[in-house]
Structure 1
Amino acid sequence: EGLQDRTVTVGKTTFELPLFSFAIATMNPVELGQGTFPLSEAATDRFAIMVNIPYLPPAEEEKLVGFDFKQVHLDSIMSKERIIELRGAITREVFLHEKLAKYIRRLVGATRPYNAETEWYQHSPSELVEKCVDLGASPRATICWGRLVKVWTILQRRRAEVYPEDIQDLARYVLSHRVWLGPHAASHGVSVEMVIDDVLARVPVP
C-alpha cells in the first residue's frame, strides 16, 4: 500500500505518506533459511528497480577493517522541497518521443510468452522468453521505465531528450525482478539477464 498508493493503513485508520517518501529493501536468498520468505510477484512488482550489488574488490574491502562508521558525516546538498520540484520539472521538460514510448512498450511485451490463460496471445520474438519465462513484466514496468528513463537521461547523459540507448541502459534494472523464469530455465542454465539481453537484441530499435 505504501509503495503503490502512498498511504499506510493501521486498523481502520489510513495515513497519507509525504510526497518525498520512498522504500529501499534488501533481498536475501530464500536458501539462507529462517526468517527469509519469498515476496509475491505483485509485491516485487511494486519496486521500481532492482540493483545487484556484488562483493567489493579486495582493496576496497580491506578499507573496511577498522573503519569507524561513526565518523562519517554527510552534508545536505538539497532540500526535499527542491527535489520534489525538480522531479516534476524532469517529467515535464525531458522529451520522450512517441516512437521511443512504443519501443518501451514493445520491450515489456516481448518479455511475455504466449499464454491463453492470461489472454496474452502474442508470441515473443525471443525464443528464450517462449521457452523459459513463466510470467513476463506487467504494465507497471512500462510506467516505471517511462518515468525512470527521463531521470536517467538528464542525470547520466546530461541531455533533455531520451535516446534508445538510455532505454536499453535501464533494461536490467527495470525488468530483472519482474520476469519470472520457469523450470526450463533452471535446467538449461538460463538466467533472467540472458533473457533480457535476448529481448533487447530481438526487438527492433526505432
Structure 2
Amino acid sequence: MEAIKKARAILNDVIFGKEEVIDLLYIALLAQGHVLLESVPGTGKTKLAKSFAKVMDGKFGRVQFTPDVLPSDVTGIRFFNPKTQEFELRVGPIASNVLLADEINRATPKTQSSLLEIMEENQATIDGETISIQRPFIVIATQNPVESNYGTFPLPEAQLDRFLFQIDLGYPTLQDDKQILSTYRTTDPYETIKATLSLDDIRHQQAQIKHVHVSDAVTDYLLALVHQSRQHPEVELGVSPRGMLALMRAAQARAAIDNRDYITPSDVKILVPYVFPHRIILTMEGSIKKTRMQIVNEIIEAVPVPVEQVSK
C-alpha cells in the first residue's frame, strides 16, 4: 500500500485539514465504490476531486451539471458522420477512470438517472449498444446543500444508495484557513501534482482487499448494525443489502490501507456514519425531531461492540 500512502500524502499537501476525507476517497477507490461530497460552495469539493484524479495515472472526465444537461451529454451519442456516410458512436465523459459529476443536484432527474447503470454495473447502454467502462472507475459527485439552492433536484433514494459514502466537507478550521492563505498566496500546489498511482496498482489492490479476513464476531456486529437500522422506531426504510455489502467492502479496504489482513469492529464503526445516513429514510415523526445522523448515532450506541480482533 506504499503507493496509496504516497498519493494520500500528496493530496494532504493540496487540500488542508481533510485527512479523514482523503482517506475515505482511497477506501472508496479500493472498495470500487463512489463518493458524494456535500458542502457549501467554495470549500474545495471540486479541487479535491480534481487533485484525486490527477494523482492517478488514468483518464479524468468531468460533467458540470446544469438543468439543461442531457443524458447523452453524460453517456454519449450516436451521430451521423457525413465523411463515412455511417453512424458512429461517440462515448461521453463516462469513458474515464475518475468521473467528476459536479453539482449533480442541479441536473434534472432524467439526467441524474443516466449514471445509475454506470455506477452499479460499470457499463452504459447508448442507443442500444452496451459500452464497458474500464476499471478502476469511480464517480465523485459534488452537491451543495439542497435547502440553500434554487433550481436543484434532490437525488432519489435509488441513486443515493449507489454511493458508498456521503461526506460533508464542512468549513476548514482557523488553523487550516491560515495554512491555505499562506500556501496559496504564492503558489498553487495542484499545479505540481504528478501521477504516482498506476492503474495496475489500483486494480491489484482492489483484488487483494477481497481476501481481507472478516471474523464471525465482526460479521455479527455488522449485521446487527444493519438490522438495527431497519428496526429503529423512527426509521421507515433501513439500510439495504447493497449498503450492507458496501460497508463490509469498505471495512476491508480500510484494514488493507492500514496494512492489516483482518477487519476489526472499529473499522466498521468508524465507517457507519458515512455509509448509513444517506441510505435510511426517517418516519415523518422522526424527521421532525431528529436528523439522520442523530438516528445513526443512536443505532451505533444501541449495538454492543465486540472485543477487538487482534488477529485472525
* TM tier, smaller: 0.7 to 0.9
Query: In 2, Cα distance between the equivalents of 1:71 and 1:199?
Result: 40
Query: In 1, Cα distance between the equivalents of 2:119 and 2:224?
Result: 25
What are the equivalent positions in structure 2 for 1:22-171 lying under 5 Å apart? 22-62=138-178, 63-64=180-181, 66=185, 68-69=187-188, 72-92=191-211, 94-112=212-230, 124=231, 129-130=232-233, 132-156=234-258, 158-171=259-272
Structure 1 residue aligned with 2:285: 184
SS at match of 2:124: strand
Query: In 2, Cα distance between the equivalents of 1:12 and 1:19?
Result: 22
Deviation at 1:79, TM superposition (A): 0.7
Residues 166 and 12 of structure 1: is their aligned pair in 2 closer, same or farther, counting only changes over 3 Å? same
Q: 2:133 aligns with which of 2, 12, 17?
A: 17
SS at match of 2:125: strand
SS at match of 1:37: coil
1:197 lines up with 2:294 in the alignment: no
**Deviation per residue, 1:117-175 (Å, 9 max, x gap):** xxxxxxx3xxxx20x2221111111110111101111224x322111111101110111
After superposition, the CA RMSD in angstroms is 2.0
SS at match of 1:200: helix
Query: In 1, Cα distance between the equivalents of 2:279 and 2:297?
Result: 14
Q: TM-score, normalised by structure 1?
A: 0.82
One-letter code of the match for 1:60? Answer: D
One-letter code of the match for 2:260? Answer: R
One-letter code of the match for 2:215? Answer: H
**Deviation per residue, 1:39-75 (Å, 9 max, x gap):** 1111100001111111012343353474654862212
One-letter code of the match for 2:131? Answer: F
Contact 1:108 1:137 in 2 (8 A): yes
**% of aligned pairs identical?**
27
Of residues 145-154 and 194-203 in structure 1, the stretch that sits farther from structure 2 once superposed is: 194-203
Structure 1 residue aligned with 2:273: 172
Q: TM-score, normalised by structure 2?
A: 0.56
Contact 1:29 1:36 in 2 (8 A): no
Query: In 1, Cα distance between the equivalents of 2:299 and 2:147?
Result: 29
Residues 45 and 88 of structure 1: is their aligned pair in 2 closer, same or farther, counting only changes over 3 Å? same
Contact 1:106 1:203 in 2 (8 A): yes
One-letter code of the match for 2:226? Answer: V
Query: In 2, Cα distance between the equivalents of 1:167 and 1:137?
Result: 14
Structure 1 stretches of 5 or more lacking a match?
113-123
SS at match of 2:225: helix
Contact 1:133 1:182 in 2 (8 A): yes
Query: In 2, Cα distance between the equivalents of 1:108 and 1:58?
Result: 37
